[in-house]
Structure 1
Amino acid sequence: MADVARAARVSPQTVSRVANGSAAVTEHTRERVCKAIADLGYRPNAAARALKRGTFQSLGVVMFDLFSEGQSRILAAIAEAASEVGYSIVLAPSGPRTSEAVSGAVVRLEEMSTDAVILVMEASPCEGTFVVPTSDRLVVVTSGDAGGYPSVDTDQAQGARLAVEHLLSLGHDTVHHVTGPVYSYAAKARTQAWRVALEDNGRNVPEPLGGDWSASSGYHAGLSLLRDPAVTAVFCANDEEALGLTRAAAELGRDIPGDLSVVGFDDLPIGTGFPTPLTTVHQDFHALGRACVRLALRQIEGAATTSDSIRIPTSLVVRSSTAPPHI
């Protein structure tokens, strides 16, 4: 820093102000300091800055699954929200869905000098009992039990109800359902809300068909389900399953939306590229990421409480894949 100050003919304090983005520096002086920084290849010492600020400007993220579309979008949303407030993220995949593996990932992140940890616990653990790891600064993203920590989640129940009530309002007698994987908290919440919505409206509750988030599982469910012409409405647990189901419908000669109405969940970009654009439930991943970071910052400041729980509202995006049934 002293070399930069000499080259720019300013004090070390001025260099520090420029490096930290302070507004208390004239534009002419800032340009001179920035040129000196570039010419000398100066890089601020992260450890020294952390000691001065009392924070490393870094958030840890623990995830079970890095490959599903929903999880990758959650991670991207957290990273974007963190960047907006000057934080970076450090990712630690937990590997197995066990208490030991998750606790180990949290400890590794704390040892790497992260200021708080966000645990994305979308899936239920492999073991019978699971204990959320102990941490001073932890935020949990889950549709399940957050273990008493501040938590964030999409309002899964609201989204599923929107899908079912939309189909019923069009005149369908009932709504069939292709579920997500049995280990997914979000999938369980959507299935439960689908069931309750039908019961609340006095409708028959068909046996759901199991899926695993993939288009392939939606396709096979569709081949089994759509041979029955009485099936006129299907709510799929995500958009990829809906994509597979529409392929099965085409192979079986079921027109969408003439013979069959289909609703997905997530509002992924692929939905607008379906042969018949997909009606779906919109998840606001950006809002979820911002809520995670906001709660993490409250944890860092010591302002968060165990009762802090944020549910991100969903909305229904109506496109061309739903219509009244043929009488």
Structure 2
Amino acid sequence: MNEDIARPRQPSMADVARIAGVSAQTVSRALRGSPNVTPDTNRRVLAAVEQAGYRFNSAARALSSGRSHTIGLVLLESGGYYSRSAVTAGVESAAGAAGYAVSIATIAGLDAGLMERSLAKLADQGVDGLVIAVPLISVTQKIEDLTREIPTVTLDGSRTQGARVLGIDQAEAGRLATQHLLDLGHRQIWHIAGPDEWIEARQRRQGWQECLDAAGIEAPTPLEGDWSPDSGYRQGQIVAMIPEITAVFVASDEMAFGVIRALRERGRSVPDDVSIVSVDDIALAAYCAPPLTTVRQDFYGYGAAAVTLLLRGEAAVEESVVTASLSVRGSTAPPRRG
């Protein structure tokens, strides 16, 4: 029997074009990383490549310069909507300005296996670099190998031996927020933390703890949310039932919205009864009632800076830390006398 005849037909570029609903020429341009292909079309083509099982060789994958001119971006599906979309916009803007397309892989949870598969998929697409915006605390050998082979920048979360790290000092963010409340005269400062598996949540909690320790104040057991307004609302109901609490440091703006609503529903005023400070300074923070005091994080600029750092082409591992800053608004005030 002739093995060549028995071997099943390999998927072709035409198969990919049919699945994606585009022309074969568009598939070719997308796989070469042409800037003339829209991000939406590029994502459709790459999804069709995956569905068809099409494998293009390095010659077909790269431009004549030997590069695909595509950057891979890994995001967490359950991260805050505003931060995820703002980071994506920043990455796409900076990449587009430099002549690069962006291929996005979204993972459903903080799982090393999901991360491995996403990185392998992007590697198969021939991306020139990776931006990882997923806060994995631990990584596998396969993740280490992929981020060593492909230039990589991580945002705050995942640390690998070969990646450059762009991060905001989250412990400093926690200290800034807590010190602001101490300076106003508060001595009962509780904390509603983010999920413990997130590096950012741990570091913000660390900053809060260190600041209270330095002031000689025993830190109460922190409450924990999941970054959502709903979790903030649930924990805010607990806070509202403890009359001696005059201030709360909440680990994210979206959770703080839920806390403020819970306090208001139970007849406690912000900031007259309880001051609230949080982290992120998303666009809605200034329009909260009252406007939210929060530690600012520029997610759009953060994504753009990651691309700039990635395209420098330096081989050495580098860590760049962005300084946190506090936006003081109406949700914090000195504690009511008596």
What's the TM-score once normalised by structure 1's chain length? 0.78
Measured against aligned partners, the alpha-carbon deviations of 1:101-149 in whole angstroms (never above 9, x if no partner) come to: 3222222212212111122222446xxx744331322222234533442
Secondary structure, aligned partner of 1:176: strand
Measured against aligned partners, the alpha-carbon deviations of 1:230-281 in whole angstroms (never above 9, x if no partner) come to: 1000010101111111111111211111111001111112212222111111
What CA distance in whole angstroms lies between the structure 2 residues aligned with 1:49 and 1:104? 19
Equivalent of residue 330 in structure 2, options 311, 316, 320: 320
Matched, 1:281 2:295: yes
1:99 matched residue in structure 2: 112
Matches within 5 A, 1:214-225: 214-225=228-239
User: Alpha carbons of 1:94 and 1:223: their partners in 2 closer, same or farther (altered >3 Å)?
Assistant: closer
1:12 matched residue in structure 2: none
Q: 1:67, CA displacement in angstroms? A: 5.2
User: Alpha carbons of 1:259 and 1:98: their partners in 2 closer, same or farther (altered >3 Å)?
Assistant: closer
Matched, 1:257 2:287: no
> What one-letter code is carried by the residue in structure 1 that aligns with 2:335?
P
Matched, 1:163 2:177: yes
1:210 matched residue in structure 2: 224
Matched, 1:122 2:132: no
> What one-letter code is carried by the residue in structure 2 that aligns with 1:60?
G
Equivalent of residue 109 in structure 1, options 116, 122, 125: 122
User: Alpha carbons of 1:162 and 1:288: their partners in 2 closer, same or farther (altered >3 Å)?
Assistant: same
2:71 matched residue in structure 1: 59
Bigger CA radius of gyration = 1
CA contact (8 A) 1:178 1:234 kept: yes
Matched, 1:78 2:70: no
What CA distance in whole angstroms lies between the structure 1 residues aligned with 2:78 and 2:218? 37
Tell me how large the CA RMSD over aligned residues is. Answer: 2.3
Equivalent of residue 153 in structure 2, options 139, 162, 166: 139
CA contact (8 A) 2:169 2:324 kept: yes
What CA distance in whole angstroms lies between the structure 1 residues aligned with 2:269 and 2:113? 50
What's the TM-score once normalised by structure 2's chain length? 0.75
What CA distance in whole angstroms lies between the structure 2 residues aligned with 1:209 and 1:56? 46
CA contact (8 A) 1:174 1:198 kept: no
Q: 1:173, CA displacement in angstroms? A: 1.0
After the TM superposition, which parts of structure 1 deviate over 4 Å for at least 4 consecutive aligned residues? 47-50
2:286 matched residue in structure 1: 272
What CA distance in whole angstroms lies between the structure 2 residues aligned with 1:216 and 1:106? 32
User: Alpha carbons of 1:141 and 1:110: their partners in 2 closer, same or farther (altered >3 Å)?
Assistant: same
Measured against aligned partners, the alpha-carbon deviations of 1:35-54 in whole angstroms (never above 9, x if no partner) come to: xxxxxxxxxxxx89953333
What CA distance in whole angstroms lies between the structure 2 residues aligned with 1:286 and 1:304? 25
Q: Could you tell me the percent identity over the aligned residues?
A: 35
CA contact (8 A) 1:154 1:288 kept: no
1:305 matched residue in structure 2: 316
What CA distance in whole angstroms lies between the structure 2 residues aligned with 1:133 and 1:309? 17
2:199 matched residue in structure 1: 185
User: Alpha carbons of 1:98 and 1:250: their partners in 2 closer, same or farther (altered >3 Å)?
Assistant: closer
CA contact (8 A) 1:235 1:264 kept: yes
Runs of 5+ unmatched residues, structure 1 = 1-18, 21-46
